[in-house]
Structure 1
Amino acid sequence: MVTSVQPSASPLARHGVAYAIQAIESDGPLDDSAILPAAHAARSDRMERVLERAWLLGQRLGLPAEWERWRHLGLWVMLGLAGAMALSAWGLAQTVMGEGRSINAMAAFVTVLGPHALMLVLWVWGVIWTYAGSGSAVGSGWSLGALALRLTARMPLDRGPHAAALLQGVRRVLQRFRLAPWAFGLLSHAIWALAFGLILLALWFGFSFHAYRLSWETTILSPAFFEQFVHVTGWLPAQLGFPVPDAAAVRAAGGGLESDQRAWAWWLMGCVFCYGLLPRLLLVLLCWLAWKAGQRRLALDSSDPYVRRLLARFDALDAAVVVDPERAGSGHAAHVLPPVTQPGAPALVGFELPPEQPWPPERWQPAWHPAVQWLERIAGSSLERTAVVQRLLEQRPHALLIATWGASSPDRGTARFLREAAATASRTAILLTGTGTGTGTGTGTGSAERWQAWLQASGFPQIPVFVDTAAADAWLAGAHSGEDNPHHD
């Protein structure tokens, strides 16, 4: 029993599973004898059918369950990384503290905010590089977001056998649609925001219940440099209400004199908030908006040979309506040809031609006729018809010319093949060979009238009939150039 895709499944989950299934099937196709009809019946859109098939196959392999495992573990991984980052930053800050709880304020500023500023610059560079045309973010493979994704996917707790394939599929989606900087950025900025929140909490607790003395020291820099540094870095915190040491307090702190330690403490916390936490929160919002907008662009590549083969298999499941000549006019609706998307090169098919009939004519050899890309000759057996229709479904030709013996009598088998073949092309025509065109016998006109009457009765009024090779060639050239002006004889 197969279950359709869950309504709660996100676009990333569905496309990630689809690309994971494609990666798995690169080693050999999976058995979808029951899943293919179920996906065909569940969805009407052709691309949605491909996604539905992948999701149903993924359910059998445990990929949606693996995705849900990632969702549950991801939050804990992010909290763990944020805690590790906060402890690391606070540990670095502790290294600048001397005995008697003396803190070098400038060194603490650089220690806490320096790594964050460097990683932020790399992320911005990665976004620029991605949209400059490379297609993947610089450093996205070792960013905090990518690290969180790898850790979540590779944690051994209930890890499925195809977790690596799902990870590969998700990465392919992110890179193909240039969502990697936004997805990894969303995770990274969220982790940094949590880390800065913990750092601020630790600073507030330490400054509230311990007496620290903040100062600065230098060997080669002048006091004016530190006055300017505090003035510049304290401007934004001051706008948000944080106290900032004035020039006299800065000089006093550098000279070992007593100064307003409360202003120094608020300056350090204000800088961490304004230059650490606040930018990360704003970038979380930006990445979330870009991510939501980018998910609407997710779509399978219709030019991918893998996708085209699946579309051809789904098209073959479309119901074909057989209209026999004796049942024509009985009220049955004519078969409506499905639209042709991504049309391929024109195709020529020789159908039930006599063995002595040369095929193809020299004028239609691909080397001599640029419009002709491939051609085929079949005797009319069921296996041959199925193989040719399958190839037509894969190629979806812009124009299909079927050459057959004019003196033959079309039957139900001919109608079935014509209906299946015509459904694959934008336009279809029939060329009757062996009709004695140009001899004055009139056999060409009689064959054309007989075939046209049969086509009309069989539900193919839109298919023109040619008895002259030159006229068929003109139709083929017109179809190739986009003209819709068939020539009848």
Structure 2
Amino acid sequence: MTAAPTDHATSAAAPPSPLATALVLDAVQRIEAAGPLDDASALQQAFHTQPTRAAQVRQRAWLLGQRLGLQAELARWRPVGWGVLLALAALVALASLGTARAVLGEGRSINAVAAFVSLLGLHLLTLLIWLVGAVASGGGAGSWLGRLALWLTARLPPDRGPHSLTLLQSATALLSRQRLLAWLTGAISHGIWTIAFALMLAVLAFGFAFHAYQLTWETTILSPAFFERFVQITGALPGLLGFPVPDAAAVQRMGTVGGQAAAGGAAQSDWAWWLMGCVLVYGLLPRALLAAFSIARWRAGARRMAEVDMADPYVRRIVQRLDALEPPPQVIDPEHRPTAAATPAPALGPPGAPGSLAVIGFELPPEQAWPAPGLPPTPAGSAAPLRVSGSAAERQQALAQLAATRPESLLLVVHAPSSPDRGTARFVREAARQAGRVALWPVAAAAPSAAGEGASAGGETPADTPAIARWQRWLQSEGFSALAMVPSAPAATNWIAQATPQHQPEPHAASPAPTP
């Protein structure tokens, strides 16, 4: 069993896959249902090494999982799982081999229709059950053969860890919720059946190549027309691939003793190829294609498994503890202000002064017009729109300006096609402390002209919906619930205009009304 890494650099490394991350997170949650773990070190390390709250939650679980041996247990599953898969494939292949040997038998006469049912009957029945289950459950159910493989992988020694069954429960529950269990177990089951049919075809081809068999049909109550239709219908698809299909005369001839005796080797060869073609088309190919399709669906869905449900009560409790690690904002009361003899500091304006506005463009591309088109002029007494390229010096300068002015409204303009990172989250969090209300406006590249196709009246090209949705998910994952999202220049203008009426003084106040 592979030992879990213990050094700091390794433990802080990113998890190897979304599946492993999701399994460890779910398993840690199940373990903590019996009582919280001592996670002070893991919580601190996750807070200081990961950019977002979702990533911090994952990293905390990953570090705790290393201490509990969950990663080592997952590493043990890989060789054991392959061994279980090969063992099950061998058992199904031996059963298929026995079926093929029973069909060929010691004698030289084979009932063709009975051989078809023997070789393909169980396969078609289990395939129909899997298809019905996959459609009815939407991918939540799994095949019994695949579930058996997972169960054996988790329970078989050697060196089974104490949390092996917990990981099995997490895998089953998580894959069912994500509608991926049917695709994982289906890939296992169809892969086993594919191996079995490949071996079955090899046995049939060897037997027909080196022994002389006579394929016939016998019946007591069925008519010859039934067998004619059966052979023609079942041979339609193999015939498209070039397999010979016995015609009506051949079927009639094989149903009589005289015809069987008169049939030559070419006629028997057509029957043998028909049977092998049916096994290939109705057995091997469907299983191989379904195995490939299940693997593709599984891989596509597994990439989404690392997403953290930020609404889960368990996750929200961890997020609250992570929020508590944030340094408290500096509050300067009048009685604590520095004296005249002390080092002079920039005077702080009143927080949320009515009508004050700050507009900051954060890490916008060089081709982006600035100030952003479509916005109204900044109110009197407000600073001019500021553009921050992303360097540490410019960020500190922007934060210092916000701390000095303390605007009522802060509009952060970001590049919609870009992906927010750790630095973006830190800047937004620090800037939001200096303003009464904050909004985020993801903008696309500026349009070539105000009249260009798809551009707004202000020359701004609206950001596409997926980009807006990505930034919205990021705000939720970071816990920025108080930040507003404005998708366009008119929406930003309306958001700015909504601030002043909310902060207008009462009619009896002596101060003048703010400039609209």
- TM-score if structure 1 supplies the norm length? 0.65
1:97 deviation in Å? 4.8
After superposition, give the CA deviation of every residue in 1:54-84 in whole Å (9 maximum; x if it has no partner): 1111111111121122222222222221221
| Within-5 A mapping of 1:7-406 | 9-97=16-104, 99-131=106-138, 136-137=140-141, 140=142, 143-256=144-257, 257-258=260-261, 259=263, 260-298=267-305, 299-325=307-333, 326=337, 330=345
Task: Tell me the secondary structure at the aligned position of residue 212 of structure 2.
Answer: coil
Separation in 1, partners of 2:292, 2:105: 39
- CA deviations on 1:263-288 (whole Å, 9 max, x unpaired) are 12211111111111111111122212
Q: Greater shift after overlay, 284-293 or 15-24?
A: 284-293
User: Which moved further from structure 2: 243-252 or 13-22?
Assistant: 243-252
Q: Which amino acid aligns with 1:136?
A: G
| Structure 1 unaligned residues grouped into runs of 5+ | 337-458, 464-478
Deviation at 1:95, TM superposition (A): 3.7
Flag the 1:5–1:274 CA change in 2: closer, same or farther, 3 A: farther
Once the 2 structures are TM-superposed, how far is the Cα of residue 27 of structure 1 from its aligned partner? 0.7
Letter in 1 for 2:313: P
Report if the CA contact (8 A) 1:127-1:181 is conserved: yes
Quote the Cα distance in structure 1 between the aligned partners of 2:295 and 2:153: 20
CA displacement 1:364-385 (0-9 Å, x = unmatched): xxxxxxxxxxxxxxxxxxxxxx
Instruction: State the distance in 2 between where 1:317 and 1:332 align.
Output: 28
**1:191-232 CA-partner distances (Å, limit 9, x unpaired):** 111111111112122222222222221111111111111111
Preserved contact between residue 19 and residue 303 of structure 2 (Cα < 8 Å): no
Aligned residues: 345
* One-letter identity of the residue aligned with 1:50: V
Cα displacement string for residues 133-173 of structure 1 (whole angstroms, at most 9, x for unaligned residues): xx732xx2x52111111111111122111110111111121
Change over 3 Å in CA distance of 1:209–1:319 after alignment to 2: farther
Aligned equivalents of 2:15 and 2:227: distance in 1?
55
Of residues 487, 493, 502 in structure 2, which corresponds to 1:486?
502
Distance 1:275 1:114 in 2: 10
The Cα offsets for residues 383-440 of structure 1, whole Å up to 9 and x where unpaired, read as xxxxxxxxxxxxxxxxxxxxxxxxxxxxxxxxxxxxxxxxxxxxxxxxxxxxxxxxxx
Question: Aligned-pair distance for 1:88?
Answer: 1.2
Change (3 A) 1:7 1:306: closer
Give the whole-Å Cα distance in 2 for the aligned partners of 1:39 and 1:332. Answer: 36
Q: Return the alpha-carbon distance in structure 1 between the equivalents of residues 161 and 190 of structure 2.
A: 29
Equivalent residue letter for 1:276: G
1:332 to 1:91, Cα distance in 2 relative to 1, 3 A: farther
Q: Which residue of 1 aligns with 2:469?
A: none
**Distance (Å, rounded) in 1 between the aligned partners of 2:52 and 2:214:** 69
SS of residue matched to 1:300: coil
Distance, in Å, in 2 between the alignment partners of 1:200 and 1:5 is 51
The alignment partner of 1:34 has SS state of helix
Provide, for residues 239-278 of structure 1, a one-character-per-residue CA deviation record: whole Å limited to 9, x for no partner. 1122222222222222231432221221111111111111
Structure 1 moving runs of 4+ over 4 Å = 5-8, 96-99, 331-334, 482-485
SS of the residue corresponding to residue 110 of structure 2 reads strand
| Compared CA separation, residues 252 and 105, structure 1 to 2 (3 A) | same
Distance in structure 2 (CA, Å) of the matches to 1:303 and 1:223: 67
Distance 1:329 1:190 in 2: 75
AA matched with 1:292:
R
- State TM-score, norm by structure 2: 0.62
What residue in structure 2 maps to residue 389 of structure 1?
none
Q: CA 1:71 to 1:323, structure 2 compared with 1: closer, same or farther past 3 Å?
A: same
Per the alignment, residue 348 of structure 1 pairs with none
1:301 maps to amino acid: D
Structure-2 change in CA distance of 1:276 and 1:333 (3 Å): farther
Does the aligned pair in 2 maintain the 1:200–1:269 contact within 8 Å? yes
